[in-house]
């Protein structure tokens, strides 16, 4: 009796899990990628706002190392003075935000495919365990 009940319900559960699970899996995976992108960009912007001196020191040090390179170390104070006169504060983190966006766009199709697979499996498992 129990096997017959399961066999009668199996086609409906399979159709439901494929339709609802695929849609839900894709939606929630896309939402998770969006939340990750939003939170990582928000963290970069907040770090840029909260710690302007540290960001400024990191920025001027990287510009200084790029400018001095393999030149004599005696030019270091003059180059640092020129950099601090040219840049009054660290620039907005455009490059980091652009890289976060690129990473999210590359990861999005992978996440959507994972949602297409994991969503129906999750819905089927839940439907069969509730039976």
Residue given tokens 């819905």 in the structure block: 123
59 occurs within a structural domain: yes
Q: What is the pLDDT of residue 1?
A: 60
11-29: pLDDT as tens digits:
888 888 889 899 999 999 9
Task: Please tell me the pTM assigned to this model.
Answer: 0.68
CA distance 125 to 90: 52
116 occurs within a structural domain: yes
Tokens matching residue 80: 């640092």
The domain total for the chain is 1
71 occurs within a structural domain: yes
CA angle 93, 37, 115 (to 5 degrees): 160
23 occurs within a structural domain: yes
Contact criterion met (CB below 8 Å) for 28 and 120 = no
10 occurs within a structural domain: no
4 occurs within a structural domain: no
12 occurs within a structural domain: no
61 occurs within a structural domain: yes
Q: What is the pLDDT along the chain (131 residues), one digit of tens a residue?
A: 677 777 778 888 888 888 989 999 999 999 999 999 999 999 988 888 777 777 777 777 777 777 777 666 677 777 777 777 777 777 778 888 999 999 999 999 999 999 999 999 998 888 888 76
Instruction: For residue 65, give its domain range.
Output: 18-130
Burial degree of 47 (CB within 10 A; 0-12, 13-18, 19+)? middle
């Amino acid at each position: 009796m129990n096997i017959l009940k399961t066999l009668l319900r199996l086609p409906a559960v399979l159709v439901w899990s494929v339709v609802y699970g695929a849609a839900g899996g894709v939606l929630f995976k896309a939402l998770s990628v969006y939340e990750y992108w939003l939170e990582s960009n928000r963290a970069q912007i907040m770090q840029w706002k909260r710690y302007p001196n540290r960001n400024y020191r990191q920025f001027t040090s990287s510009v200084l190392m790029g400018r001095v390179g393999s030149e004599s170390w005696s030019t270091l104070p003059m180059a640092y003075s020129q950099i601090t006169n040219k840049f009054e504060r660290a620039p907005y983190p455009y490059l980091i935000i652009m890289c976060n966006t690129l990473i999210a766009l590359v990861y999005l199709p992978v996440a959507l495919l994972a949602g297409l697979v994991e969503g129906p499996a999750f819905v089927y498992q839940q439907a069969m365990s509730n039976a």
